[in-house]
Every structure is written in structure tokens, then in C-alpha cells.
Amino acid sequence: MSVDEGPSAAQRRAPTLEAVAELAGVSRATVSRVVNDSERVSPEAREAVTAAITALGYVPNRAARSLVTRRTDTIALIAHERPDTVFADPFFASVLRGANQALSLTQLQLVLLQVQGDQQRDRALRYVGNGHVDGVLLLSLHGDDTLATSVSKAGVPLVMAGRLLTGEVVDSVDADNVGGAGLAVRHLVATGRRRLATIAGPLDMSVGVDRLRGYTEAVLEAGLPDAATRIAAGDFTEAGGRAAAARLLAEHPTLDALFAASDLMALGALRALRAAGRRVPEEVAVIGFDDAAPAAYTDPPLTTIRQPVERLGQEMVRLLLRRIGDGPGEPVAVVLPTELVVRSSA
């Protein structure tokens, strides 16, 4: 009686390039060109090779393919922030979700590098510079940090979220932060508020600078110069927003509106106002920025400026892939629109 011992060793082996070539009736070189997306293949040969790959379940050897194409099929998303900020702020999750969506129809993999401090920064730069990735998406750069410049000098394509405060121009995708802050101020003024104040984002980041600029320009245009002096610094966290709102209330007890440069800071402001016995929106109106998921569920629901964060991640990937394919060129700056979302807080 024979015993079924299962597939032989030969059957268990992964299909080879040669096997694909034999089944497709073409040369090994033709299969290699198809796998490496070469244009030097006839449509008929490409179709035969593709059918053979599907039939055999052939998976290209990524290491060998990398030697031919000089590509790793990997891009890095570098978040230059503290771990608690990266994993607690809905902004980062939304950008990551958008980037993954844009990559879903490609063969590229995404790796996340969280960077805080010089040691992690240098390690990330070595990883990128040593040829482990085809390109870099860079988030949350602070001050005059030269990470973007260093990546570019290493010859690695780069796309930033936001702009560099140093004035250097690189490929970037950003929301209309100045215009969005102006929308918030004009809504508050239109609803009768006159004693406005703002909780600004970090001023070592372009997003913080631009949202404060939008606020300041709008209150001056509305003829409210005192509002341009009612500013408390925040850090895009709930705790920072709560502390900043408490300072503003202590210094300006009659204020009747708050514009916070992020939804998390607006959430902190709502809690500070509640602790101070101030009713929202009857006594103080509050507007945030982002339209993060929690904004619709605050008490009261938060009026905010919506920026298309997932689309930002998608556009960053699309711009990076175009740069990887086309090579160096004039920097491109993409600015996405923002819009006012009115809820009960203002």
C-alpha cells in the first residue's frame, strides 16, 4: 500500500524565473524585463509572461530586482516628533492612512521612522542615506533643523508636509493655514464676537507661524487691533491648550472668543473654560483647526477649520513618486484648500 507523502521537494520549491520563461515561451531576459517594468517588451510577450507569473504564483526576488533597477521599493515616512505626539495626535494617523491609500496600488512599502533628538535623527539619516529607501516623506520639522537639507544632499527624493522656516524651498504639500485661520476669525466676527484671543501653535513650525499670521491679519482687517495682542503659545496638545486657555482667561477675563490652532488645543480650551465656569458658546465661542475625528464629539461639538489631512498624505506620496520617476527638478509646492465646519461651539 502506498502512502501519500505530500508534495515532493521539487514541487515545494518556489517557481523560478526560468520556469516562468518556459511556460510563457520566451527567454529568461524577457521575463526579467517584464518583472522590472522595462518598456523593451512587446505587448504580446508581456501578456504571456504576466499570465505565466499568475499561473505559477511566481514572486520576484526583491533583492535581485533591486540590483537591476537600483530601487528598494520602499519609502520612509519620518515624523520628527516625540512618540506620545506621533501616536496621540490624530493628524499623524490621518496622514499615514492617506499615504497608505496612495501606495495601495503600487509595489512600494512604507516604513515609519519616529525621530526625537540628535541620536535618532542621525540614525534615520544614515538609514536613508545608505540606500535603504527610494524616497522620504517628512513631517513636523522644527526651527532651523537641517534634516530636509541633509536628505536632499544625500540624493534621496524628499517631500515635506509644510514648508521650511529657513526659506529653502523643497517639494512640499501643505494646507492653506493662513486662509483657514482667516476663515475662523471672520466667522467669529460675523457672529458678533469682538474680544478675540488665540492659542497659537509652536512658532518653530511653519504651520504654527502661518495659522498665527492668518489670525493676526484677519483681526487687524476686522478693526480689532487688541485681539492681535491676545496670544498664548501652545504645543498642539490638549494639555498645552488647556494651560494656554487658562492663561488667557486670567489675563483677559472678558474675552468672548478663542481660536485654537489645533483641535486638540481647542479641546483643552473647552475644559479650561468649563473649569472657570464660562459657558460655551454663550459666553465664549471656540474654534479649532483640523476637523479631527474627536471634534464632532466634544461638549459642545467643536466648530473647526477642516484641512484634508488624508488627502495631504496622498498628495505627498503622489508628488514623491513623480519625483522618483522624473528625477531632480524645480521644487513643487502644493497647497490644499481649507473650509469652515460650523458646529455648536461657535
Q: At what angle do helices 90-103 and 309-326 cross, to 10 degrees?
A: 40
The overall longest dimension of the chain from CA atoms, in Å, is: 98
Same-domain check for residues 136 and 109? yes
Q: Are strands 135-139 and 158-161 parallel, antiparallel or unpaired?
A: parallel
Residue 2: inside a domain, yes or no?
no
Q: Are strands 231-233 and 257-260 parallel, antiparallel or unpaired?
A: unpaired
Residue 212 lies in domain:
177-306
Tens-level pLDDT at each residue, the chain (346 residues): 344 444 444 344 567 878 888 899 998 888 877 876 666 788 888 899 888 888 887 766 554 554 444 567 899 999 877 777 777 788 888 999 999 999 988 888 999 888 877 788 888 888 888 888 999 999 988 877 778 888 888 889 999 999 988 888 899 999 999 999 999 999 999 999 999 999 999 999 999 999 999 999 999 999 999 999 999 999 999 999 999 999 999 999 999 999 999 999 999 999 999 999 999 999 999 999 999 989 999 999 999 999 999 999 999 999 999 998 888 889 999 999 999 999 999 9
Residue 342: inside a domain, yes or no?
no
Torsion (CA) 219, 221, 222, 227 in degrees, nearest 10 = 20
Rounded to two decimals, the pTM is: 0.78
Same-domain check for residues 322 and 250? no
d(CA 207, CA 213): 10
The partner residues of 287 in beta bridges, in order of sequence, read: 259, 303
Dihedral class, residue 109 (left if φ above 0, else alpha if ψ from -120 to 50, else beta)? beta
Q: Where are the alpha helices (DSSP H) in 191-308?
A: 206-221, 238-251, 263-275
Dihedral class, residue 279 (left if φ above 0, else alpha if ψ from -120 to 50, else beta)? beta
At 195, which CATH number? 3.40.50.2300
Same-domain check for residues 48 and 152? no
Contact (Cβ atoms closer than 8 angstroms) between residue 28 and residue 3 = no
Of 136, 194, 182, the residue nearest 316 (C-alpha) = 136
At 18, which CATH number? 1.10.260.40
285 three-state secondary structure:
strand
